[in-house]
Amino acid sequence: MDKKTENRDAVKQRTLKTSIDCSGVGLHSGAKVSMVLNPADIGHGIQFKRTDISGGVVIQARWDNVVDSRMHTTLGNADGVTIGTVEHLMAALSGCGIDNALIELDGPEVPIMDGSAHPFVFLLECAGVVEQDAPRRMIRILKDVSSGDGNARLSPGSHLSLDFEIDFADGAVSQQTLSIGIVNGSFARELARARTFGFLSDVEKLRAAGLAKGGSLDNAIVVSGDKILNKGGLRFEDEFVRHKALDAVGDLYLAGAPIIGKFHGVCSGHAANNALLHALFADPDAWCYDVYQGEEALSAIDGGISPELAESA
């Protein structure tokens, strides 16, 4: 279903002003990776390109291209080419209101950086942003929809907001809740710096499963019972639930457009987030395309890029 609205003041699509690069290690693959974030044309969306493969392989950042959601979100194609751990970068792109970008990688995984989305927000700020001469399309939630296990839900709302609950046996994490609206710069202030986390007791099991090969205290919070092993401790008292919300922002941006609605997660992760998008798009009565206008336009571009850095193309 396609809801068309004409409004000269509708929020416009945005892309990067210039290319910018970084390098780092993949959290799960352990591979050293160089990455370039590039501007892209109107309607291009977010695409990843593996430049280390002959001829280059491009994979659209979409929910139906997710091939693995164990501990992270991995995109792939029918030929078995994959790009892992896209969620933190996708969260930064979502929070900073970037609609169109080509992301080039010379390896199988987005570099983990410090385990949060903040380094990517910083890169986008440095690259700058330009508006493009086309309205920004968004996905409006029209009715409640949930993942198969019920751990993740979407319902109608005036902007993207998240309610999250987690409950872990380890005392350092325990029970945490968070309610946040992704408006007025809240992503950059409240979520972007929250780091991924893991448990010391799980390290051997994860590495036996081919995961966390690049993990360290430099790119993840490591928990042992009621202790945080990282020097300097936490960035937020409730950094764990904030990171789970950050992951959800990134996973939801694989819808292919910003979502206008309320997300509720209960101990949910990447698998439930992706199952939620499958459920959403399986029900054409649960959503429609629209454009931002009126008061909604105030929350359309939330994130870490200040208005003075955004220019009209």
For every residue of 201-244, DSSP letters joined together read: GGHHHHHHTT--TT--TTTSEEEETTEE-STT--SSTTHHHHHH
Sorted by sequence, the CB contacts under 8 Å of residue 265 that are 6+ apart come out as 151, 152, 153, 162, 163, 164, 165, 244, 245, 248, 272, 273
Sorted by sequence, the CB contacts under 8 Å of residue 214 that are 6+ apart come out as 25, 26, 27, 28, 29, 30, 31, 112
How far apart are the C-alpha atoms of 30 and 254, rounded to whole Å? 24
How far apart are the C-alpha atoms of 294 and 313, rounded to whole Å? 22
Give yes or no: 270 in active site. yes
**Out of 28, 72, 264, 270, which one is annotated catalytic?**
270
Helix crossing, 87-95 with 239-252: angle to 10°?
80
- As a whole number of Å, the end-to-end CA separation of the chain is 30
Supply the DSSP symbol for 65. Answer: G
Walk across the sheet containing 145-146 and list its strands: 145-146, 152-155, 262-266, 161-167, 175-181
> Among all residues, which ones are annotated catalytic?
270
